[in-house]
Structure formats: structure tokens, C-alpha cells
Amino acid sequence: MSPFSALRVAGLLARRGVAVNISVRAAHGHEISKQEDMSLPMYWDRKDTPLPDIPFQKALTADQQSLKQKELGSWKNLSEEEKIALYRLAFNQTFAEMKKPTQEWKTVVGGVLIFIGLTGLVVWWQRVFVLPPQPHTLKEDWLAAQAKRMIDMRINPVEGFSSSWDYEKNQWKK
Amino acid sequence: MLLVSGILFCGSVWTYVATQTGITWNLSPVGKITPKEWKEE
């Protein structure tokens, strides 16, 4: 199998989310759903493969067969409904139907946010049961005294901490 | 629907955790902390 077609099949499988596993089938015996024979050409609705390997409907009724016969003649003789019927025999979805946006992203983002929310609960639990008591150096008045000392020492006066302090008005710069 | 419930759940949990649980975020004192005299006379 050339690398290109192997990649293509992998890509198709990844997009469809289909996991066809022959060994699984053998282990379970008769399956309820019929599995496709992956060694034969398959029909896919894909924007980048506008003409699939096989038509959508392979087994035709008598009516459909007579329509296919009519198709062999001049197409001017076909009515609108017949043309559409022939299209639907060959293709499953139109390009417009293929391109239609799904609402999948909402499900994905919602799921992600729920798990992040669960993480928040975990953090809360950790705060209650794991973290040690806060050091006294993080209390309000300690931080206030610390800030005043840093300002008095002119810590980072050019672009840093003390540069945000207005020494004339004795307050933080607005 | 999952999106809305996800936003509400995540938002409410993290707002609570960030503000009410006493976790120190060690935010910058600039503009927030009013400096207080530290020298002991």
C-alpha cells in the first residue's frame, strides 16, 4: 500500500470516527450491524473528494434502472425531478448539506468547561484539607507595612514598584 | 445546553474558589494596599 493511500484511509477513518477491527468481529461472532468490506471501494461524502469511487445507490429498483437507461440518451429529455433523482442515486449529500455547520463545538466547549469546573472543586478541597495555614507575612497589615518599607527604600524606582508611588502627594499614582 | 451549563458551573465554582476560600493569589499591592508605617519608634 503506498504511503499516500494509507494516509488517506487513516484520514478517512479519523474523520468518520469509525474503528473497524476485523479481530473484534471474529471474537464476537455474529454482529448486529453489517460491517462494510473495507477492501472494496467505498462511498464517502467529502468536500475534498467531490467524485466518490462508487455511486451512492448500487442496487437499483426497476424504476431507477429505467431512469438510468433514459440517462443514456439526450439529457434534454430529462425533467427536473428526474435529474434530481439521478443526482440522489449517485450522491448521498449535496455540497450544501455537507458544509452545513453542526452545533458540535458547543458540546465540546461545554464538556471542557465542566471538567475545568470539577478542577475548581478539587482546588477547593485542597485549600481545605491540604494547604498549610497562611504565613503571617501575607496578612493585610504586614503587607501594608512591607509596601511602605519598599517605598521608603525606593525599590525599583525607574519602572517597577516605587515608580507607581507618587512621592509628592503620598499616594499611589493614578 | 451543555455549553450553558458548563459556563455556569465552571464560572460559579471558580468565582467562589477565587474569592471565598481564602486562597492567596498574592496580587500586586500597587493601587490596592495602603502603605502603613513600619518603623518602630
Helices assigned H by DSSP within chain A: 3-16, 22-28, 62-71, 80-90, 95-99, 104-129, 140-152
pLDDT in the model for residue A63: 84
Instruction: Please tell me the distance from the alpha carbon of residue A74 to that of residue A77, in angstroms, as a whole number.
Output: 6
pLDDT in the model for residue A25: 46
Instruction: Please tell me the distance from the alpha carbon of residue A1 to that of residue B30, in angstroms, as a whole number.
Output: 65
The ipTM, to two decimals, is 0.82
Question: A121-138: per-residue pLDDT in tens?
Answer: 999 999 999 999 999 999
Question: A31-54: per-residue pLDDT in tens?
Answer: 566 777 889 888 888 889 888 888
A138 near B CB under 8 A = yes
- pTM confidence score: 0.62
Q: Which residues in A lie closer than 8 A to residue B9 (C-beta atoms)?
A: 113-114, 117
Contact A147/B5, CB-based, under 8 Å? no
Q: Which of A76, A81, A43, A44 is nearest to A63 (CA)?
A: A81
Spell out the residues 6+ positions from residue B16 whose beta carbon is closer than 8 angstroms to its own: A120, A124
Spell out the residues 6+ positions from residue A140 whose beta carbon is closer than 8 angstroms to its own: B33
pLDDT in the model for residue A11: 46
CB pairs under 8 A between A and B: 86
Could you give the count of Cα atoms lying within 13 Å of A166 in the half-sphere of its Cβ?
Answer: 8
Percentage of residues in chain A with pLDDT exceeding 90?
35
Q: Which residues in B lie closer than 8 A to residue A116 (C-beta atoms)?
A: 10, 14
C-alpha dist (Å) from residue A66 to A20, A51, A79, A83 = 36, 23, 14, 13
- Other C-beta atoms closer than 10 Å to the C-beta of A113 total 22
A140 near B CB under 8 A = yes
